[in-house]
Amino acid sequence: MRIQIVYRVLIVILIGLLLAACGGDDDDSKKSYSVGAIMQNPTGVETWDAFKAALADQGYTEGENITYYNEPSGALLAEAVNVAELDLIFVIGGVFGGSEINGLTQAKALAGGTIPIIVASASGDPVVSGDADSLAKPGGNITGLLLLNADDKRFQWFVEMLPDDATQVAVVYDPDHMSIATQLAQIEALADQAGVELVLLATPPDDLATTDQALADIPADVGGVFLLKVWGTSIQWLEWGFAHGVPTSQDSVVLKMSIPQPLMAYGPSLEKMGQDSARLAVQVFGGTKPGDLPFEYPDFYLTIDLGVSEAIGFEVPYAVLNLADTIRRSDVSIFASEPASASAEVAVVHPEGTGACAGTITTMGGAFTICVTVPCEQLVSTDAVKYTDTVDVGGCFDAGYVGVCAAADFDTYYYEGEAAWLEVGCGFMSGKWTAAE
């Protein structure tokens, strides 16, 4: 009897060794994964890059055992890949209980309650929206990192940082954000305590005309600019503050975009959120259901940028510097001079003729020198996209450009701008972005 038992144990061990040598169907290292991402804001590029880098550190190598698809909307993601074949949908940003234009809402529609979803920096309450049974045990197909509302603390520190003669602070906010009424009430109470007058500027991030009007209406002697849920147009406000020597504050620092940074930021690390999201993704790839992974809250960091403060001639009080988690000094030399005008750029890079149109395009991302592959008469400006300083040219110069957005009717060559931002904007115009080599 004892000999038979020994033989059976040996047989089981041999079978296990053979399966390990040959590779079974459950061998996670042999599986190839597909991840679809919805990133509606270009500031998410830092989180996205950190997410992929962290997965690479865990053995998920792009092009070998993992494939990524990153689009600015659910519709474009569905065009880029068969959604049913995705192992994970990664949403950067988003709002629980948001409208149909919200990236998280679009991801939920694509997932159909079955494809795992991981969110990074999502606003709202997934329990209230019905997307989770509880934060500790969601029970559905969604988990990830939620944003705490810490803008009241950020505002309090920002006001303390301003000099005594700064009697006005502009608060630029998204009037359509689901929590904006509560946050404004908190900020108004803090402003009353500090004896500061608020200049409230309601600017929906997708309304270019309203943002332009707000930039024109903001008082020239305002003591500071406080950005509240306006990630889509934050670049214009940060540039305005830098150009006018006015301190600015927003909830994050975007290190991978060539824009003036806020003088003060208080919020999560975009890079750390990508790394934490990758940690959750590894667990999902290993078979853990998102509903068994609790939602998490990222750590918040107070960051002061002395490069910006010195450039605008603003002295940050020692008391605030002493509170900072990070004191950095960004290179602001590239913002010291004005960029070349569109007309000057056109004269240099475009040949004579009438087959194309060169000029300036203005969107919620800013104003950029461009050339499109149709005559100027075919361009139609809207509230969201405006074409100015246009001139008919023979063709678009195919050197020295940042990238090209290929749409249904024509291609748009961009000769300036941040590639990550332009790619997202191209997606909103239903185009396909190709960066210059």
Write out the chain's pLDDT in tens, 437 residues: 444 544 554 454 445 544 444 444 444 445 899 999 998 776 788 899 999 999 999 999 999 999 999 888 898 899 999 999 999 999 998 888 877 878 899 999 999 999 999 999 888 889 999 999 999 999 999 999 998 888 999 999 999 999 988 999 999 998 987 778 889 999 999 999 999 999 999 988 767 778 888 988 899 889 999 999 876 677 788 889 998 999 999 987 666 555 678 999 998 888 999 999 999 999 999 999 999 999 999 999 999 999 999 999 999 999 999 999 999 888 777 565 443 333 334 333 445 556 888 888 877 667 788 889 888 888 888 766 788 888 888 888 777 788 898 887 888 999 887 776 777 677 666 678 888 87
Nearest to 96, CA basis, from 293, 298, 279, 295: 295
Q: Say if CB 308 and CB 262 are below 8 A apart.
A: yes
pLDDT of residue 208: 72
pLDDT of residue 105: 92
Answer CATH for 31-148+271-292 from 3.40.50.2300, 3.30.470.30, 1.10.10.10, 3.90.180.10: 3.40.50.2300
DSSP 8-state symbol, 139: -
pLDDT of residue 255: 60
pLDDT of residue 103: 87
pLDDT of residue 4: 52
CA–CA separation, 386 and 374 (whole Å): 16
SS3 content of the chain, % helix, strand, coil (to 5): 35, 25, 40
pLDDT of residue 285: 96
**Range list for CATH 3.40.50.2300 in the chain:** 31-148+271-292, 151-268+300-335
For residue 110, give the H/E element and its range.
helix 103-111
Quickly tell me which residue has 């053995």 as its tokens. 59
Quickly tell me which residue has 């068969």 as its tokens. 82
The amino acid sitting at 185 is A
CA dihedral (393, 397, 398, 401) in degrees, to 10, reads -110
Task: Work out the burial of residue 24: count CB atoms within 10 Å of its CB; fewer than 13 is exposed, 13-18 middle, 19 or more buried.
Answer: exposed
pLDDT of residue 61: 95
Regarding pTM above 0.85, the answer is no
Quickly tell me which residue has 């890949």 as its tokens. 81
Where helices occur in 195-315 by DSSP H, the ranges are 208-217, 234-243, 270-285, 306-311
Q: Say if CB 155 and CB 190 are below 8 A apart.
A: yes
CA dihedral (32, 36, 37, 38) in degrees, to 10, reads 180
Cα torsion angle, 132, 134, 140, 142, sign: positive
The highest-level CATH class for domain 151-268+300-335 is alpha beta
Task: From residue 260, give the alpha-carbon distance in Å to each of 47, 95, 151, 202, 242.
Answer: 19, 27, 20, 22, 7
With a CB cutoff of 8 Å and minimum separation 6, the contacts of 380 are: none
pLDDT of residue 336: 54
The greatest distance separating any two alpha carbons of the chain, rounded to the nearest whole angstrom, comes to 96
Q: Say if CB 125 and CB 71 are below 8 A apart.
A: no
Nearest to 86, CA basis, from 61, 117, 49: 117
Dig out the tokens for 135 from the structure: 């934060």
pLDDT of residue 102: 82
Say how many CA atoms lie within 13 Å of 221 toward its Cβ. Answer: 4
Nearest to 356, CA basis, from 373, 380, 377: 373
